[in-house]
């Protein structure tokens, strides 16, 4: 049984000061780096995703271009490919990342499973090829992309743990609801000090 760590969207636009920055985003980035510094051996594979949106279109209605965003289906422009906002936050140590995933290229995408491996192929294909049956999830934002990634990982037949002190959300209530939902779906909620290896 192989275990992977999914690092979801720890990007400048989702951390403090970014276009859609969440409170605690930089602390999450630093916490993930600390986890990898102390427990990289717990993981057979480390995978990190980034929103990587097109600059020249509304990405399938994901960007609110002509009216105010509703912050449900439409959002301010964020994480445009090749910009500072799309880069990993500098608190995240990237040298331990084995595979980089890009998602949202011309279309809305929340789950890491909607992305593609930089060298081609799907996340599910990657997990199968590497024999990954269990996934720990950390990153941003709890109530959107972390939630969607956890639910898709469960649907994909993987054992899932969400590391609750290494996620941060848009709003406290929706973040609590998201964690409760993924727990009901079968995920375990753990803290980083429970990770061994």
Domains of the chain: 2-194 (3.40.50.850)
Among the listed residues 9, 51, 136, 143, the single catalytic one is: 9
The tokens for 128 are 């199968």
Q: How many CB atoms lie within 10 A of CB 196?
A: 7
**Distance from C-alpha of 30 to C-alpha of 100, rounded to nearest angstrom:** 18
Under DSSP, the state recorded for 58 is -
What's the Cα-to-Cα distance from 58 to each of 43, 48, 110, 189, rounded to whole Å? 37, 24, 15, 35
Mean pLDDT of 187-197: 93
**Which one of the listed residues 13, 51, 103, 136 is annotated catalytic?**
103
The order of strands in the sheet holding 188-190 is 116-117, 99-103, 45-51, 2-8, 132-140, 159-168, 188-190
Residue of 105, 78, 118, 88 lying closest to 28 (CA atoms): 88
Inter-axis angle of helices 147-155 and 172-185, to 10 degrees? 10
What percentage of the chain carries pLDDT values higher than 90?
80
Write the burial class of residue 48 (CB in 10 Å: 0-12 exposed, 13-18 middle, 19+ buried).
buried
Q: Which is higher by pLDDT, 73 or 95?
A: 95
Mean pLDDT value across residues 35-44: 96
Q: Is it the case that residue 55 has pLDDT exceeding 80?
A: yes
Average confidence (pLDDT) over 12-25: 95
pLDDT at 139 over 80: yes
Let me know: does 106 contact 41? Beta carbons within 8 Å: no
Q: Does the annotation mark 9 as catalytic?
A: yes
So what's the pLDDT on residue 16?
97
**Two tokens, residue 21:** 């920055």
Please confirm, yes or no, whether 66 is among the known catalytic residues.
no
Q: What pTM, to 2 d.p., does this model score?
A: 0.93
Phi-psi region of 94 (alpha: psi -120 to 50; beta: other; left: phi over 0): alpha
* 103 in active site: yes
Least confident of 1-10, 66-75, 124-133, 188-197: 66-75
Section 74-103 average pLDDT: 93
Q: What is the mean pLDDT of the chain?
A: 93
Among 63-77, 94-108, 162-176, the range scoring the smallest mean pLDDT is 63-77
Handedness of CA 178, 179, 180, 181 (dihedral sign): positive
pLDDT of the residue at 54? 80
Q: Of these residues, 51, 79, 136, 145, which one is catalytic?
A: 145
Question: Taking Cα atoms as reference points, which of 165, 109, 114 lies closest to residue 142?
Answer: 165
């Amino acid at each position: 049984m192989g275990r992977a760590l999914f690092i979801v969207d720890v990007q400048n636009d989702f951390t403090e000061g970014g276009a859609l920055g969440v409170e605690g985003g930089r602390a999450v980035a630093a916490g993930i780096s600390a986890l990898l510094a102390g427990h990289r051996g717990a993981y057979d594979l480390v995978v990190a995703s980034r929103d990587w949106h097109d600059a020249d279109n509304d990405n399938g209605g994901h960007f609110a271009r002509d009216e105010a965003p509703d912050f449900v289906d439409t959002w301010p422009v964020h994480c445009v490919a090749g910009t500072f906002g799309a880069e990993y936050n500098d608190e995240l140590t990237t040298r331990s990342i084995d595979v980089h995933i890009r998602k949202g290229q011309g279309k809305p995408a929340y789950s890491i499973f909607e992305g593609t491996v930089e060298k081609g192929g799907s996340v599910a294909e990657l997990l199968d090829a590497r024999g990954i049956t269990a996934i720990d999830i950390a990153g941003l934002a709890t109530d959107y992309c972390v939630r969607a990634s956890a639910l898709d990982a469960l649907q994909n037949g993987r054992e899932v743990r969400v590391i609750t002190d290494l996620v941060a959300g848009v709003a406290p209530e929706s973040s609590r609801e998201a964690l409760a939902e993924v727990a009901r779906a079968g995920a375990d909620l753990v803290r980083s000090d429970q990770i061994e290896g």
